[in-house]
A = this chain, B = another copy of it.
Amino acid sequence: MFITRRIEFSASHVCANPALPDEENRRLFGDAANPYGHGHNYVVEVTLEGDPDPVSGMVLDLKELKAILNAQVVDSFDHRFLNKEVPPFDRTIPTVENIAIEIWNRIEPSLSRPPAKLHSVRVYETPNLYVDYFGDAR
């Protein structure tokens, strides 16, 4: 069984590889390479897999999940310019793909313990573009 919680943060980013010339970044990323950055209301859906506990009827303690997501994701990402304020995005391009991988890496150690394990991280950059990441194991 999967259980999914949705959180949101507002952040800005630049999509450009500092090792590439400007015109190449412009060709690859279009307006997303504008050097001053731009932003999004990111929506994150974190999905865990597990069986409901016979005593509580819940896969895991939702209050604890919320606390972990706030501490590991919202508090670090919300109202930030990702490239300048949130490592590793000073050296990793904060594409929506890399944001999903980074969120997985931050929360997986706290969430993948019995009886539940992290199944996927979905990140919406806009309502029309999103990614799903399942960890290296897939």
Residue of B with least CB distance to A47: B132
- Residues of A whose CB lies within 8 Å of any CB of B are 1-8, 10-13, 15, 17, 20, 28-32, 34, 36-41, 52, 55-59, 61-63, 78-81, 84-85, 92-98, 100-101, 126-134
Roughly how many angstroms separate A97 CA and B59 CA in the complex, as a whole number?
Answer: 7
| Inter-chain contact A4/B129, CB cutoff 8 Å | yes
| Inter-chain contact B95/A56, CB cutoff 8 Å | yes
Give the top 6 A-B pairs by smallest Cβ distance, nearest first. Answer: A39-B39, A12-B12, A36-B81, A31-B79, A12-B39, A57-B93
- Asked if A129 meets B62 with Cβ closer than 8 Å, knowing A10-B39, A55-B20, A80-B34, the reply is yes
